[in-house]
Amino acid sequence: MSRNFKTGWCGTILDINLTTGSITKSQLDQNDARLFLGGRGLNSKTLFDRVPPGADPLGPDNILCIAPGVLTATLLGLSSRLQVTTLSPYSGILGDGNAGGAFAYVMKRAGYDQIIISGKAETPHYLWIDDDTVSLLPADDLWGTSVWETTDRLMQRHGKNTSVACIGQAGENLVRLASTMVDKYASAARGSGAVWGSKYLKAIVVRGSQKVALHDRERYLALAKADRKYLAKDSVQQEVSAVYGSHYGMVNWFPGYRNFEKVLPGDAVPEAPEALRPQAWKQYEIGRIGCQSCHIKCKNVYKIPSGNRKGERGEALEYEAIYCMGTNCGIEDPVAILEMENLADIYGVDVIALGNTIALAKDLYNRGIITDADTDGLKLTWEDAEAQIELIHKTVFREGFGNLIAEGLYSLAKHFGPKAMALCYHVKGLSRGPHPPGLYALSHAVSSRGADHLRGRSWSAGDNSSEDILTTLVDRQIISDDPIQSITAGERATAIADTIGRCKGAVNTWACAVPLVWKSGEAWKSDQAGKSEQAGKVGLWDGLAELLTAATGIDFTGDDIADIADRIHAVERAFNIRQGITIEHDRLPQKPEVKKGPEGEKQQMEHFKMLSAYYKKHGYDPDTGIPLPETLQRLAISEIGIRLAEDGPYPLWDGPLLWDPDSYPTGGTRE
Ligand code: SF4
């Protein structure tokens, strides 16, 4: 079959050097496109190639990689996700975030597979991309303004059919929890907002009018239509659309309570606060909205009913905001949670990082490990929502105690010493709470951007088990419930979703993350062009391989797709090894009372046994977690191993490189 790197892909990379002001367009490297596709894959490879080990995340050597997926803007449902990748100032390792909205779709239609931002401007600027015309424009008038105001002003200036990615005051003040914000409400986290701020880049505005070419348009559209039809009748998606929206996670999952003192059942059990139950949020909803190309429209639009921000509109309240800013900080007042969600969107901060850092601070305060003298007199009692809101403002403007919160969870714990670190339940600086050894803990431990739920866990057998298709895949023996097999399959699903530009859904399901996955286990059908003569059943990645082939003209197989995911994972691991990550950092966070006793030691041993099996499965050294040369060779990325060996040894990771507390900017005004 012919190879055409302008079907599916646009074929162009946009490279902006803010130090020199140069704007360069180059051809997408064909080898990179075939091996890494787009989105997360392309970004992680670029990050490895261009950011030297030990670079200051807030210095000019760091870069921002911004990419839609290879299938974005092709009429595939849920395919408008944008990947923003950088060396994270929050964690000091690979940091990426995945945002919805319309930016990815419009960027692809403007003709770009990736934007790479390097260097540092001397004054504030924004980038205006109008199809082929790209200009770097002064942004002095926008500096100091919020995400919402910046977006409104730029849309007014450049027209309504544009999309805006930008930062608010948090990014400008180099708050390490700051996000890249897309179209006001969607966010890409892991601290990328501070990297924009460090480069004096306020925003990117894009308008695109070109169609993305497809190799076999008819076949592609037929497959995309079948996928959309399946999703429309999937019971989880129906419930998301018709009932809960973006906070559906509350139904099945378990929010942390008071810095993970325990987890709360989301729905059925009486101890879950009445006002925070999943169905309780419906009363604030005034509508629904979706990202570009998504018929699920999971984002609930709400109006704040009372309090300081009465009448203010907000969008896309998620389970994470309710739990991280709410229950995990001891707040059970829904109106205060809505207010904090809006503040996070206005200032451009990640609700998970902010909530979990404040939860740790509150835990330290309520245990007497820190006092009023440390908090500038702020009384951080668990229930006090007003004090928490004040702390959010202080964090964004780096005032007093807020200047410490702005450095992030791990750095806060480090500042207050071992007693604080014992309560900091993190993996590589990110927190999803303590868990006993097993599938849950392992997936957090090996996630390439630090503990989180979006790198494999939710797709593993036994977790999101209410999902019809996951149960079917396990029944059909396509996915095993062996933890190592299951996590590996889940990791591949998320890497691929982030690479093709597909949303993992409001509830992180296989049916959303992997197009056509529901075909897995069926017998080959005669209408599968070019494959009908094969014996056996459709494999886990075969449907997607067929879709990618129809889009790009490259003959992908299911095995190729699995290899692409494993390749991405290996490159991300290699990047983190250069940042000082070792097997010791793929750790099991434990509560102090567990950690101290023999039970803690037993759990750690069990965890390391699983870790070793996991490394083996991936072709990594079972004792160090470093990808073996033969694995890198099999994945056609031997040069990664050579670079790893050449650049080492690496200083051990101990959080991100910090600045003198007095040297950060502190501009802008409170909203
Ligand atoms: S499911 Fe929700 S987050 Fe995902 S693309 Fe659709 S509207 Fe956006």
Gap from CA of 206 to ligand 1 centroid (Å) = 21
Distance of CA 328 to the CA centre of its chain: 20
Residue of 234, 288, 289, 298 to test ligand 1 pocket, by largest number of atoms within 8 Å of CB: 298
In 3D, which of 40, 116, 33, 114 has the Cα closest to residue 83? 40
Which mutation among 288, 320, 503, 510 tests ligand 1's pocket best, with the greatest number of atoms within 8 A of CB? 503
pLDDT given for residue 267 in this prediction: 53
Using the 3D structure, point to which of 534, 554, 574 is the last residue of a domain. 554
Residue 330 has pLDDT above 70, yes or no: yes
Lowest mean pLDDT among 39-48, 259-268, 473-482, 641-650: 259-268
- Residue 220 forms part of a structural domain: no
Measure 515 CA to ligand 1 centroid, in angstroms: 14
Atom of ligand 1 minimally distant from the CA of 290: 7
Q: What is the position in ligand 1's atom list of the atom closest to the CA of 81?
A: 5
Measure 492 CA to ligand 1 centroid, in angstroms.
20
Q: 301, 288 in Cβ contact below 8 A?
A: yes
Going from the Cα of 77 to the center of ligand 1, the distance in angstroms, rounded, reads: 9
Place of tokens 């072709």: 619
Specify whether 380 is located in the same domain as 292. Answer: yes
* Domain shared by 190 and 82, yes or no: yes
Q: What is the pLDDT of residue 134?
A: 98
Q: How many domains does the chain have?
A: 4
Answer yes or no: do 115 and 161 share one domain: yes
Nearest ligand 1 atom to alpha carbon 512: 1
Q: What is the identity of the amino acid at 350?
A: D
Band of pLDDT at residue 370, cut at 50, 70 and 90? very high
CA of 290 to the centre of ligand 1 (A): 6
For residues 339 and 355, membership in a common domain is answered with: yes
Distance (angstroms) between ligand 1 centre and the Cα of 79 equals 9
Structure tokens at 111: 């003709």
Q: Would 372 be classed as within a structural domain?
A: yes
Q: Whose CA is nearest to atom 5 of ligand 1?
A: 78
- Contacts (Cβ under 8 Å, ≥6 apart) of 623: 583, 612
Pair type for strands 114-118 and 12-17: parallel
126 shares its domain with 32: yes
Average confidence score pLDDT of the chain: 93
Residue 48 pLDDT > 80: yes
Q: pLDDT class for 243, splitting at 50, 70, 90?
A: confident
Average pLDDT for 449-468 = 76
% residues pLDDT > 70 (the chain):
95
- Whether 656 is in a domain gets the answer no
Q: What is the DSSP letter of 630?
A: H
Q: What is the pLDDT of residue 262?
A: 86
DSSP states along 554-574? ----HHHHHHHHHHHHHHHHH
| Pair (528, 568) in one structural domain | no
CA atoms within 13 A on the CB side of 352: 23
CA dist 98 and 189 (Å) reads 7
| Position 439 confidence tier, pLDDT thresholds 50, 70, 90 | confident
Which residue range forms the structural domain that includes residue 354?
246-432
pLDDT-based confidence at residue 196 (cuts at 50, 70, 90): very high
Residue 653 inside a domain? The answer is no
In CATH, what number is assigned to the domain containing residue 285?
Answer: 1.10.569.10
Å from CA of 296 to ligand 1 middle: 6
Q: Is the pLDDT of residue 268 over 50?
A: no
Whether residue 93 is found in the same domain as residue 201: yes
Report CA(119)–ligand 1 centroid distance (Å).
33
Do 304 and 386 belong together in one domain? yes
Distance CA 299, CA 289 (A): 5
114, part of any domain: yes
User: Beta 12-17 vs 82-87: how paired, if at all?
Assistant: unpaired
How much is the average pLDDT of 455-472?
Answer: 74
Q: Does some domain include residue 270?
A: yes
* Smallest CA separation from ligand 1 atom 2, residue: 298
Does residue 496 register a pLDDT over 80? yes
Of 9-23, 362-376, 445-459, where does mean pLDDT reach its minimum?
A: 445-459
Q: Name the DSSP letter for residue 278.
A: G
Query: SS3 sequence, 109-137?
Result: HHCCCEEEEECCCCCCEEEEEECCEEEEE
Question: Ligand 1 centroid to 111 CA: how many Å?
Answer: 23
Q: What is the CATH number of the domain that holds 129?
A: 3.60.9.10
Radius of gyration of the chain (CA): 23
Atom from ligand 1 closest to the CA of residue 503: 4
User: Considering the domain boundaries, does residue 236 fall inside one?
Assistant: no
Residue 231 resides in a domain: no
| CA atoms within 13 Å, Cβ hemisphere of 354 | 33
Sign, Cα dihedral of 19, 22, 23, 24: negative
User: What distance in Å separates the CA atoms of residue 430 and residue 412, rounded to the nearest whole number?
Assistant: 12
CB-based contacts of 494-497 (< 8 A; 24+ apart in sequence)? 494/454, 494/455, 494/456, 494/459, 495/40, 495/41, 495/564, 495/565, 495/568, 495/569, 496/541, 496/544, 496/561, 496/564, 496/565, 497/81
Ligand 1 atom 7: the closest Cα is on which residue?
290
Please report, for residues 187, 418, 603, 613, the alpha-carbon distance to residue 617 in angstroms, rounded to integers and kept in the order given.
Answer: 33, 35, 21, 6
Please say which residue of 207, 232, 266 terminates a domain.
Answer: 207
On whether the pTM is more than 0.85, the answer is yes
* Ligand 1 atom nearest residue 78's Cα: 5
Mean pLDDT on 450-457:
85
Q: Distance (Å, rounded) from C-alpha 450 to C-alpha 436? A: 17
Give the type of residue at 211: K
Best of 71, 244, 296 to mutate for ligand 1, by most ligand atoms within 8 A of CB?
Answer: 296
Among 141, 176, 207, the domain-final residue is 207
Q: How far apart are CA 308 and CA 389, in angstroms?
A: 11
Indicate if 172 and 40 belong to the same structural domain. Answer: yes
Q: Is 595 exposed, middle or buried (0-12, 13-18, 19+ CB in 10 A)?
A: middle
For residue 630, CA distances in Å to 503, 620, 627 come to 33, 9, 8
| Percent of the chain whose pLDDT exceeds 90 | 80
Which tokens belong to 429? 């600086």
70 shares a domain with 44: yes
Task: Determine the atom of ligand 1 nearest the C-alpha atom of 100.
Answer: 8
Task: Tell me how far the alpha carbon of residue 310 lies from the centroid of ligand 1, in angstroms.
Answer: 27
Q: In what order do the strands lie in the sheet with 299-303?
A: 285-289, 299-303, 313-315
Question: Ligand 1: residues within 6 Å at CB?
Answer: 78, 100, 290-291, 294, 296-299, 503, 505-506
User: What spacing in Å lies between the alpha carbon of 507 and ligand 1's midpoint?
Assistant: 10
Do 44 and 159 belong together in one domain? yes
Q: Assess contact for 99 and 299: CB atoms under 8 A.
A: no
> Is the same domain home to 533 and 621?
no
